[in-house]
Chains A and B, each alone.
Chain A
Amino acid sequence: MPEFAMSDAPAVLQTEHLTARYGPVVALHDVTIAFRINRIHALIGPSGCGKSTLLRTLNRMHEVTEGATVSGRVLLDGHDIYDPRVSPMQLRRQVGMVFQRPTPFPTMSIYQNVAAGLRLQGRVSRTEMDARVEQALQEAGLWGEVADRLRRSPMALSGGQQQRLCLARTLAPRPEVILLDEPTASLDPRSTQRIEELLVELRRDYTIVIVTHNMQQAARISDETALLDGGELIEAGPTARIFTAPEDPRTDAYLTGRFG
């Protein structure tokens, strides 16, 4: 597999002894993991294992929940994102996120949805904006379907199209990292396949972390896989190895369906 050669690619994002809590409840315990440039990382594990929590600590969406706290470090390009001088708003423009359910802004047009994140970065000229909206929609594989109705409401789009619109909205500000929280869980197989193909293409320009319930999906698209259980990182490594020769017996048990 060519992926093995990239194993030592530099880490864009890494956690060090990261523990995340909701009030007194520990959702994530002492997780140290690296996410490397131009690779797709799958986070798998049973429900409630902490994979979504891990994802949300990576762009500080975790702390949006009342009572949620974090200890340990998360480094983006070597800088701790939990440093008090770091603005969560700025950070989230570098580390974009797509959610399980499509969340187009209903009061905005398709164009405005894609431009929403860009507008936060200050004044952008009309031509520049048009170009970047088009580029983001191209990257999300949606341009051909919406080019003639950019001014219309996104609510008339199908679920899969809405999800790709959300992907375009996340891509438009050109983040370094894209986080996806079960992005295809609410989609039909064809839309799912479309998103998977896009992610594989997007890998060239971004670092991607995807939470998925679907182990086939992890096997199909990811370069690296991490298994979590009970808030702890059980095992992480190249997907091919995790799926064929797991080191931890719990990984083997999970992958063969004996738990989770």
Chain B
Amino acid sequence: MTDQLRRARSGLMVGLMIVAVIAALVPLLFILIDLVRRGIGNLGISTAMIIPALTGTLIMVATATAIGVPLGVAAGVYCAEFPRSRLAGTTRFAADVLNGIPSIVVGVFVWGWIVARQGHFSALAGSIALALLMLPLVMRTTEEMLALVPGSLREAALALGYPHWRATTGIVLRAGVPGIATGSLLAVARIAGETAPLLFTALGSHYLSLDLNQPMAALPLLIFSYATGPYDEWHRTAWAAALVLIFVVFALSLAGRCIVGRHARIRDE
């Protein structure tokens, strides 16, 4: 009798969990299905708008990654190496504050620092705004991943005669690379869709531009301005752009996973 009751309770709980999983997946599925349905037919007519925006997004995300990831990893390594130093405490606090600042505020500040001083909008300013958003994410992931590397590994390296810095870079950091790369990719995926920080910095453009010093188009900007526009054609372009953006984020994550997978495997000469 009690056994039956126990089984029933267990079944009920498993059922609830399945419902929860479905509830979490349904919105994602709706978004994907809706996007594909509305976007795919409009890709053709929107190509002229999407190509500059896609190029701009890729360039700015790449530039932001080139700035944000090395800085974030370096700061994270410092905090993991000297966890109780005052600088590490301050850095951690600063990162948490930076993480909490709304992205539009970051955009406004970069506008003040760079755009207002230079007197013109630029893709570089947009990239810097995006890099600032990545920085705390990459830093905290790096620190957390390095904390997961067992201390015995570092001890083993030191006991073998490794200098401190080589134990850190050659053994500890290398062991943390898969986790750090995954965290960085999540940060990349997050900033790829950011609109607000680009509004005041990269501004957007109707033309294909490769010049970091000039305004540049970006997919989120295109979606923002066309979705809020008055014409039905614009709305269709926005749907197509949204589909492309989702695809880019998806492809980035997938590519990252492959790279990480390969890196995690042993490389021997």
Contact = CB atoms under 8 A, between A and B. Distances in A.
A, B: real partners? yes
Interface of A: 59, 61, 64, 89-93, 96-97, 99, 101, 103, 105-109, 111-112, 116-117, 120, 151-153, 166, 169-170, 173
Nearest to A106: B175
B161 A89 contact: yes
The 6 closest A-B pairs by CB, nearest first: A103-B156, A97-B159, A93-B161, A92-B161, A107-B174, A117-B160
Given A109-B266, A109-B268, A101 B152 contact: yes
6 contacts: A89-B163, A97-B159, A103-B153, A103-B156, A105-B156, A108-B268
Contacts of B162: 89, 120
A61 B159 contact: yes
Nearest to A66: B84
Interface residues of B, number: 21
Contacts of B152: 99, 101, 103
Contacts of A92: 158-161
B266 A61 contact: no
A229 B157 CA distance: 30
Contacts of B171: 105, 107
A110 to B, nearest CB: 9
Counting chain B CB atoms within 10 Å of each CB, which of A64, A89, A103, A116 scores highest?
A103
B158 A170 contact: no
Nearest to A90: B161
Interface string B141-158: 000000000101101111
A152 B156 contact: no
A105 B174 CA distance: 10
A102 B150 CA distance: 12
A103 B268 CA distance: 19
B260 to A, nearest CB: 13
A96 B177 CA distance: 28
A40 to B, nearest CB: 19
Given A103-B152, A105-B156, A111 B163 contact: no
